[in-house]
Amino acid sequence: MASTKLKIKKGDLVRVIAGDDKGKEGRVLEIIPAELRAIVEGVNMITKHTKPNATTPNGGIVKKEAPLHLSNLMVVVGGQATRIGRKAGENGKLVRFSKKTGEIIK
């Protein structure tokens, strides 16, 4: 797979734009670049049945987040979901910016 620059980063606030959790927002906990997926806090929850082991002595049913495809997520800037662009900022380094407001994203 060709490597591309991802527009969503760990820690971004994102909104789900498609699927069962459409409209929900959360922080990105992890990015999986090889699969173009992200794990978002509190979104796309699954139940996983676990056997007893050292970390969970009793086993049981655990709720956890499952990965979502990046195409189903939009970054939220100032309360609005927006597309992301990249342009040269000061020092000539590329910075991300909101295409809706033009605001630079940290």
Confidence of residue 1 (pLDDT cuts 50, 70, 90): low
Residue range 13-78 in CATH 2.30.30.30: yes
Rg (CA), the chain: 17
pLDDT for 10? 97
Q: How far apart are CA 93 and CA 104, in angstroms?
A: 12
d(CA 18, CA 40): 14
Task: Output the pTM of the full model.
Answer: 0.84
pLDDT recorded at residue 5: 87
Task: Quick: pLDDT tens for 44-81.
Answer: 999 999 999 998 899 999 999 999 999 999 999 999 99
Q: Where are the domains of the chain?
A: 13-78
What are 83-105's pLDDT values in tens digits? Answer: 999 999 889 899 999 999 999 99
CA distance 36 to 63: 23
Q: Which residues sit opposite 31 in a β-bridge?
A: 38
